[in-house]
Structure 1
Amino acid sequence: MRNMKKWLLTAFFFLSITTVFAQGKISGIIQDNNGALPGANVVIEGTSTGTSTSFDGSFTLNSTSSKGNVVVSFLGFTSKTIPFTIVDGQADLGTIVLSDEGNVLGEVVITSTIIDVAKDRKTPVAVSTIKAAEIREKLGNQEFPEMLANTPSVYATKSGGGFGDSRINIRGFDQRNIAVMVNGMPVNDMENSAVYWSNWAGLSDVTSAMQVQRGLGSSKLAISSVGGTINVITRTSDMKQGGSFTATLGNNDYIKTVGSYSTGKMKNGLSASVLLGNAQGSMYADGTQFSAQNYFIGLGYEINEKHNLQFTFTGAPQWHHQRSFANHLGSYIKFGDPVNNEPNIKYNSDWGLYKGEEFSWARNFYHKPVMSLNYDFKINDKTKISSVFYGSWGRGGGTGSIGTSPFRYKTAGGTVPFDDFAAFNRGQYVAANDQIVYGGNLPGTQVAPNAQGQYITNRSLGFTRRASINSHDWYGAVINFNRKLTDKLTLDFGLDGRTYTGYHFRNVNDRLGADGYQANLATTSGGIYLANDVNNPTRTLYETYSASPSFNPFTNVKDQEKIEYNNNGYVRWYGAFTQLEYSTEKLSAFIQGSVSQQGFSREDLFQYKNDDPLQKTDFENYLGGNIKGGLNYNIDEKMNVFANAGYYSKQPNFQAIYRNNKSIAFDNDNEKILGFEVGYGYKSNIFNANFNAYYTSWKDRYQRTSDPDPNNRNGYFEAFGVDEIHKGVELELNVKPFSGLTINGMASYGDWYYNGQSDYQKFDQNNAFLTEGKLLLDKVKVGDVSQFNYSIGANWQIIKGIKVDANYRYSDNLFASIEPGRFSEENTNIKGTLELPSYGLVDAGLSFKIHRTKDSKDSFNFRINVNNLLDKVYIAESRTNQFVASQSEFDGNTGDGKGILQNGSIVASGNLKSATPGEGQYATYQDYLNRGTWNGVDLRNQVFFGFGRTWNLTFRYEF
């Protein structure tokens, strides 16, 4: 910290002595026909003096001349030349409107110094911005992260394909290491930094703009921005009067309706906005029904020019059936077209029919409302205080199974026989009926009635759907003090505080015909208690709890009957930050530092007796922080260069401290991230380009990974001391060759790999220790991501009100997830990370807009999107690294001892070659290549396919 203070003081002194005086200031606001226009160029005619507008469209420009003209331009808009005259040091140009209906932002956004929005040709970071109009047009029935798929170094997939289950990866880092900010609030989970997009399903409907800052970014907070920061700016009550109604239809009975209205700012300074939405249907994969609602309430009060209050309350209660298990590639082919080796990419092994209705082992349900109060206090022209106070109350979880090897039994069609399970639970299943032909008949020992005539299941007999509850109460505040020291120097400093309580347990959701569930205390051979409350060893439970979200965010979860585990996590966060920014027409620079203390405590009411001091631990506190800085230089009105560097000492997360679900704290080193970046930009009325290169080193990382081994389902690996290197280059282009046509393109290439070796431990689903050793990861490619991507697209406004667009996106160097078991030192045949086939996708859309009358602002808007237009079949993710066997391996052994495929599952170790081949065994090597692989991928790999062709049609009425 002493070195950090020295750097800050040195930078402050150096930048202060460069201060010079200007003739005066030119200010104004740039808008299009519907609202603010961020990123517009404002240049003093005949000079290289210029700037870009902020997110609210405002700009301030210093001029050494008392008279002249400013030229305002934005790609796709008609430029304007505005005269100015400086009087008493000021020239206020008011609101300047650029005309072009093809580029509409649509909403005014929150202006606050706690929202760290990067500014073009000023903030020295790699950044991409997506406006509300594009989100509104292209989202349809896609997921929110997919809107970023055409951004450099971004890989977004639908994962299993359930509603809200998509994920995003930036520069090779998953979303646990990407900071997601909503109006300046950090929303990554405080225990594991995860982001669950199903909890934010309504965010797209209230977003004014979304900005992606790749790398450490410009945020002043010490947040999880290793890969980047997704900065979401929501609609506020400070917008124009009016409303809209939107209806969207899509494939698989998808239907969504949204209505909104805003009063606009009234004469008394008050304003209000409200939005309500509903969506339901199914996703592309089988067995993925969902129901989701969302709401937004915004209240604003501009007391006077100095005081501004903005209150928001928003949430998105939802439930959805998931495809949580990545099946072996052979299973997709088994339930597709085995004769022609064609997969059924919609296949989902987690669902079936129960009492004639869709029912799933994997059902997610959650409601996470967020309430926030933003307060801006303009003390004077040089000093401002911005703050946000927020609370979040998450209620819900996800379901799964307990019972008699529930994943083994499938119908002939590969679905789950829930009706048979219910008959088994009541002693009524007749094996002679041979109803289950894929996985075999259920065992003969069924649930029998007790003395009271009740049918009671438990964790080893019968079938039960349980729910894993992950609820929380979260409160926080960010306060920032902003002071303009001179015309060129601005100082920020502030505080960041958060407190979090997480509630984790399981309950009985559906007994599947049984009368009760018996929770018995179990032990392992090592004497470790499992699966129940040591303070109440034997209990028979008769309550069940809904797997639909509660609309009451304050539902009491403490009094529910619990099984399997019951623990609470407590997290406290205190942070302080500061930033010094220097800005002229040519040069801008910043240096920023933050420090934070994160404390963790664990309470376990099942594993530890009431008199055990480990039942609730003291707080384990960890100190961390970051320091970063950057510089941007505008060569002329068109070109700029920038560079930034940063170092981040990141505290370990909750799971790293309290490993394998125990309350014994481990001594962890902070993770250490070092990043460098340089870039070049070119901007004109016709052509824009941004190029940058980066290098990131990540040391002492803790990583928890699911074990894909079917014999250890729901088990996991924990790795410690993992080192990674991420480096690459990125290019982003857009060009307007003539009025009405805009062409966009991007390309990115990454070289992301592990460095050296690390220690690991392996556990089963009950957190029982299995084995440990070293992972040999040196130069192994980082998986679960594509390391080379490019896209090219065009938007063409054929005539006024009619626009078509199309985009081609290509992904290559796509690697499977790291399967830790294959990289252990015991494995003598390490081949690296499995590379999956590359693929390219075409998306297209058509927009039509017409006003109710010639002079009316009311408008009717129609939009149709077709995603994956050519119906490309491709693997988006693989959980395993099973390479195609060579000729010699085939003639001998498979080469890794991981088993052969039978009935779509890995069942035993053995040779692929067989004199009497059956499913998963082959007579010749060519037979193996023909039937044992698909598109060059071994059928034993566990994969998720991407969606095939999907469509959505949206009607929107604005008034």
Structure 2
Amino acid sequence: MKNLFHFRKVLFRQKFPLTILCSLALGVAVQAQEKPKDSTVVEKLDEVLVKAVRVEATSPITHSNISKVELSKRNLGQDLPVLLGYLPSVVTTTDAGAGVGYTYIRVRGINAQSTNVTINGIPYNDAESLGTFWVNLNDFASSVESLQLQRGVGTSSNGSGAFGASINVLTDAVSDQANGEISNSFGSFNTRKHTVKFSTGKLNDHFEIAGRLSNIKSDGYIDRASSDLKSYFLQGAYVDDNTLLKAITFGGKEVTYQSWNGLEDQDLLENDRTFNTAGMYTDQNGVTQFYDNEVDNYRQDHYQLHWNERYSNQWSTNIAFNYTKGSGYFEQYKQDQDFEDYDLIPITVDGEAITSTDLIRRRWLDNDFYVLNANANYKNDQINMTFGGSYSTYDGDHFGEIIWAQYPSSSTIRDRYYDGNGKKDDFSLISKATYRLNEQLSIYGDLQLRLVDYRTTGLNSDRLPFNIDEHYTFFNPKAGITYRINDANNLYFSYARANREPNRDDFENNDVVKPEQLNDFELGWRHTDKAFRFNVNAYYMLYNEQLVLTGNIDKSGNPIRTNSGDSYRLGLEIEAAIMLSKAFSLQPNLTLSSNKNKETNASLDGQLVNLGKTNISFSPEVVAANAFVFQPNDNFQMSLLSKYVGDQYMGNTDAEGSKLKSYFVNDFNITYEIAMNSVFKSIVLSGLVNNLFNEKYVSNGYYYTYDDDFSVPGEISTIEGAGYYPQATTNFLAGITLKF
């Protein structure tokens, strides 16, 4: 009862938006759930690609499903995380401010480094950073058949452990009929997207070739935060009644002007919120200039081969191979750099000793990633069981080059001033099953054994020896129970444990870093009928040594994390779909949560202070969304999309200077499909107005402190600072798609 009163206080203290509150008053819960599958129904072979990492409608795992049709209505150039921004417990942000370029997603307050992402069952998270960089797969939503977002630990997956969510993506299914489309969209900040797609349909009833080419460009809301993004998707498939072979390649090339510094000047935030400090330097005349090539330049290519075989209505297997090649750099103009930091020799010019220089440097990544997955599935009317394993190996080079220097000293072009390597092997075995005890009761069990080896050699970017040799053995059990009350209602409860290794940055930024462990308890109620669907889910996530964001960032703009000891996340998630009439529906969701470090110690004015229980960084107590949808027929839809994110702290000390204020934004989306009888099957017109009411808000930032013992002799004072990432005010995108 105490926690219920806490949630009620949080709800009204945060000045909860009236539109969402009214929607929740009409009924609490979630978007439509798929109907339970009858075990006698023959499953589509395409779906077997993700069988090992997804769950079904009645599983005791909290999840949301997104279809291709749902994604397409707002797919006008923004990255996939932005398209998922209205799902429960989700908060998204973007460096450039308008959803193009570097975008990020947090679920239940947990960032992308703790969100497991798979594409056709293949791990997508970077092996070393554990992050996901959707900018490398721009316009990927145009090639997504369906997507499942699991909140909490979820089911066992391939790759790094899920500590807040997992996102399982299935790419385009084999098309029976030949088709194609040309999509173009334009909008604010010179944003434009051009996409061409095609499919041959089944040739001779067995073969299909399909593909996509995309190009997205944008100047960005933030000054000079431009993006030039190119991507492709190509698949060849052979299919018959029991066999599916798919060879898939996809990838992208991105060149984005850096905007990861944020704004540390409060006056600029209020009066010149688009100012970008990246590339800024002072020339010989004392005039501020901006380097024109302060960019991130990276290419990533994926090659997948999938073989799905169905031996009967009970048995099926999936074998998958993957190779990913990534290579690129970010380039920076740096002033007054000490020679010793780049292993350069001091020189004498006109009798004057020179020990520093202006220079331009590139910091490179060059990596190879191989994956082998193998799974088997058996199901009948009582049991649905999957077992198998995954092995991946990663080899990545990290090095830096000086490509220009005012005083080059002993260097020559392309000299490497640091050079290092990271290797990672990841092996896991899984076995999971759902067993129906009777018509009302089913139980779920899931066991995973995961072995991780991580080794580094050479120097890091600070030219310090960086030698890690860590070996982890993780056992991750999960169990749950579902009770079917009747055709419309079921209750579920689950427990899951997850263990997760630190990432490369954690090792670099901490003298000692430990793996983190999570015990996740989920209790839910699902109701489904034609007019009203809802989910209510309560969760308690108990962490040991959780790696939480400190709010600070490192020299490359990456967030710094540290072990927090014991911490927890306690929350209530409510989501609904309410049919008010044949044409009008509401889709509200609400998350109320309490996210705490049980004990926090911090250095303040030279003294170690115990702050007791504090809030976990970037974990708002209230996150809510709603969609008012008007759809009189299949060809026309208008939606008003609302999102509220409550106050959140950028650090873990509850410092007032680390607080991000709450915000409430609204988007308006319209689509209209015109059926044609000539060259084109149809023409789709779509429009999107983001931030309809011109809210000036900040969705992300960083917070830092350091002890200053120079201001007053003999005294130490703590200096604090913060940086902010402003998001775009009112902006629009409009598009036209020609289908044939």
TM norm. shorter chain > 0.5: yes
Looking at structure 1, the residues matched to 496 and 651 of structure 2 have their Cα atoms a distance apart, in angstroms, of 28
Q: CA deviation at 1:607?
A: 10
Q: Is 1:291–1:319's contact at 8 Å kept on the other side of the alignment? A: yes
Provide Cα deviations, 1:184-240, integer angstroms capped at 9, x if missing partner.
111111112111221121311211122211001123446321101111111144453
Aligned pair 1:540/2:468, yes or no? no
Looking at structure 2, the residues matched to 832 and 940 of structure 1 have their Cα atoms a distance apart, in angstroms, of 11
Letter of the 2:167 counterpart: I
Aligned pair 1:682/2:505, yes or no? no
One of 394, 403, 409 as aligned partner of 1:500: 394
Q: CA deviation at 1:628?
A: 0.3
Aligned pair 1:802/2:636, yes or no? yes
Identity within the alignment, %: 18
Provide Cα deviations, 1:887-939, integer angstroms capped at 9, x if missing partner.
xxxxxxxxx9889xxxxxxx9789xxxxxxxxxxxxxxxxxxxxxxxxxxx99
Are the structure 2 counterparts of residues 796 and 457 from structure 1 closer, same or farther at C-alpha, using a change threshold of 3 Å? Answer: farther
Q: Name the residue aligned to 1:570.
A: 423
One of 59, 69, 78 as aligned partner of 1:133: 69
**TM alignment of 1:87-106, pairs within 5 A:** none
One of 594, 597, 601 as aligned partner of 1:751: 594
Q: Name the residue aligned to 1:347.
A: 275
Letter of the 1:153 counterpart: S
Which segments of 5 or more consecutive residues in structure 2 lack a partner in the other structure? 1-30, 339-346, 714-718
Q: Name the residue aligned to 2:373.
A: 478
Aligned pair 1:727/2:727, yes or no? no
Q: Is 2:657–2:722's contact at 8 Å kept on the other side of the alignment? A: no
Q: Is 2:109–2:619's contact at 8 Å kept on the other side of the alignment? A: yes
Give the length in aligned residue pairs. Answer: 692
Are the structure 2 counterparts of residues 716 and 253 from structure 1 closer, same or farther at C-alpha, using a change threshold of 3 Å? Answer: closer
Are the structure 2 counterparts of residues 392 and 239 from structure 1 closer, same or farther at C-alpha, using a change threshold of 3 Å? Answer: farther
- The structure whose RCO (Cα within 8 Å, separation 6+) is larger is 2
Q: Is 1:263–1:271's contact at 8 Å kept on the other side of the alignment? A: yes
Q: Name the residue aligned to 1:373.
A: 305
One of 465, 471, 480 as aligned partner of 1:630: 480
Q: CA deviation at 1:756?
A: 2.0
Are the structure 2 counterparts of residues 857 and 298 from structure 1 closer, same or farther at C-alpha, using a change threshold of 3 Å? Answer: same
Task: Answer 1 or 2: which has greater strand percent.
Answer: 2
Q: CA deviation at 1:247?
A: 0.2
Q: Is 2:513–2:562's contact at 8 Å kept on the other side of the alignment? A: no
Q: Is 2:78–2:139's contact at 8 Å kept on the other side of the alignment? A: no
The alignment's TM-score, normalised by the length of structure 2, stands at: 0.84
**TM alignment of 1:285-296, pairs within 5 A:** 285-296=222-233
Q: Name the residue aligned to 2:618.
A: 784
Q: Is 1:706–1:716's contact at 8 Å kept on the other side of the alignment? A: yes
**TM alignment of 1:262-277, pairs within 5 A:** 262-267=199-204, 269-277=206-214
SS at match of 2:588: strand
Aligned pair 1:203/2:187, yes or no? no
Q: Is 2:498–2:519's contact at 8 Å kept on the other side of the alignment? A: yes
The alignment's TM-score, normalised by the length of structure 1, stands at: 0.66
Q: CA deviation at 1:772?
A: 11
Are the structure 2 counterparts of residues 496 and 634 from structure 1 closer, same or farther at C-alpha, using a change threshold of 3 Å? Answer: same
One of 845, 856, 859 as aligned partner of 2:669: 845
Q: Name the residue aligned to 1:363.
A: 295
Q: Name the residue aligned to 1:179.
A: 116
Provide Cα deviations, 1:356-408, integer angstroms capped at 9, x if missing partner.
998457411111111111111223332221121101111113223333279xx
Provide Cα deviations, 1:37-58, integer angstroms capped at 9, x if missing partner.
x9776xxxxxxxxx535xxxxx
Provide Cα deviations, 1:660-679, integer angstroms capped at 9, x if missing partner.
59xxxx88654221110000
Looking at structure 2, the residues matched to 505 and 131 of structure 1 have their Cα atoms a distance apart, in angstroms, of 41
Letter of the 1:624 counterpart: F
Looking at structure 1, the residues matched to 64 and 571 of structure 2 have their Cα atoms a distance apart, in angstroms, of 17
Q: CA deviation at 1:483?
A: 2.4
Aligned pair 1:517/2:388, yes or no? no
RMSD: 3.9
Are the structure 2 counterparts of residues 722 and 60 from structure 1 closer, same or farther at C-alpha, using a change threshold of 3 Å? Answer: same
Are the structure 2 counterparts of residues 108 and 209 from structure 1 closer, same or farther at C-alpha, using a change threshold of 3 Å? Answer: farther
Aligned pair 1:879/2:702, yes or no? yes
Are the structure 2 counterparts of residues 297 and 353 from structure 1 closer, same or farther at C-alpha, using a change threshold of 3 Å? Answer: farther
Looking at structure 2, the residues matched to 276 and 379 of structure 1 have their Cα atoms a distance apart, in angstroms, of 36
Q: CA deviation at 1:168?
A: 1.0
SS at match of 1:347: coil
Provide Cα deviations, 1:647-706, integer angstroms capped at 9, x if missing partner.
1233343455x5459xxxx88654221110000111111111111000011112345757
Q: Is 1:238–1:300's contact at 8 Å kept on the other side of the alignment? A: no
Are the structure 2 counterparts of residues 153 and 505 from structure 1 closer, same or farther at C-alpha, using a change threshold of 3 Å? Answer: same
Looking at structure 1, the residues matched to 580 and 490 of structure 2 have their Cα atoms a distance apart, in angstroms, of 22
Q: Name the residue aligned to 2:13.
A: none
SS at match of 2:64: strand
Q: Is 1:706–1:714's contact at 8 Å kept on the other side of the alignment? A: no
Looking at structure 2, the residues matched to 202 and 756 of structure 1 have their Cα atoms a distance apart, in angstroms, of 43
Q: Name the residue aligned to 2:433.
A: 580
Q: Is 2:636–2:673's contact at 8 Å kept on the other side of the alignment? A: yes
Q: CA deviation at 1:305?
A: 2.9
Provide Cα deviations, 1:232-273, integer angstroms capped at 9, x if missing partner.
111144453201000010111111110011011222511110
SS at match of 1:218: coil
Are the structure 2 counterparts of residues 775 and 218 from structure 1 closer, same or farther at C-alpha, using a change threshold of 3 Å? Answer: farther
Q: Name the residue aligned to 1:836.
A: 660
Q: Name the residue aligned to 1:3.
A: none
Q: Name the residue aligned to 1:600.
A: 454
Q: CA deviation at 1:142?
A: 2.5
Are the structure 2 counterparts of residues 209 and 265 from structure 1 closer, same or farther at C-alpha, using a change threshold of 3 Å? Answer: same
Q: Is 2:49–2:170's contact at 8 Å kept on the other side of the alignment? A: no
Aligned pair 1:332/2:242, yes or no? no
Q: CA deviation at 1:348?
A: 1.1
One of 725, 728, 733 as aligned partner of 1:952: 733
Q: CA deviation at 1:783?
A: 1.6
Query: Structure 1 stretch 502-511 or stretch 165-174: which is displaced more?
Result: 502-511
Q: Name the residue aligned to 2:241.
A: 305
Q: Is 1:517–1:542's contact at 8 Å kept on the other side of the alignment? A: no
Looking at structure 1, the residues matched to 186 and 712 of structure 2 have their Cα atoms a distance apart, in angstroms, of 48
Query: Structure 1 stretch 242-251 or stretch 583-592: which is displaced more?
Result: 583-592
Aligned pair 1:815/2:649, yes or no? yes
Letter of the 2:695 counterpart: K
Q: CA deviation at 1:465?
A: 2.3
Aligned pair 1:649/2:493, yes or no? no
Provide Cα deviations, 1:826-849, integer angstroms capped at 9, x if missing partner.
xxxx74784332221111022121
Q: Is 2:657–2:721's contact at 8 Å kept on the other side of the alignment? A: no
Looking at structure 1, the residues matched to 634 and 468 of structure 2 have their Cα atoms a distance apart, in angstroms, of 66
Looking at structure 2, the residues matched to 839 and 40 of structure 1 have their Cα atoms a distance apart, in angstroms, of 29
Looking at structure 2, the residues matched to 237 and 354 of structure 1 have their Cα atoms a distance apart, in angstroms, of 56
One of 461, 467, 480 as aligned partner of 2:356: 461
SS at match of 1:133: helix
Looking at structure 2, the residues matched to 845 and 457 of structure 1 have their Cα atoms a distance apart, in angstroms, of 63
Q: Name the residue aligned to 2:24.
A: none
Letter of the 2:413 counterpart: Y
Q: CA deviation at 1:708?
A: 6.5
Letter of the 2:276 counterpart: N
Looking at structure 1, the residues matched to 461 and 117 of structure 2 have their Cα atoms a distance apart, in angstroms, of 34
SS at match of 1:796: strand
Q: Which of the pair has more CA radius of gyration?
A: 1
Are the structure 2 counterparts of residues 128 and 715 from structure 1 closer, same or farther at C-alpha, using a change threshold of 3 Å? Answer: closer
Are the structure 2 counterparts of residues 292 and 198 from structure 1 closer, same or farther at C-alpha, using a change threshold of 3 Å? Answer: same
SS at match of 1:466: strand
Q: Is 2:279–2:290's contact at 8 Å kept on the other side of the alignment? A: yes
Q: CA deviation at 1:124?
A: 1.1
Looking at structure 1, the residues matched to 366 and 606 of structure 2 have their Cα atoms a distance apart, in angstroms, of 32
SS at match of 1:517: coil
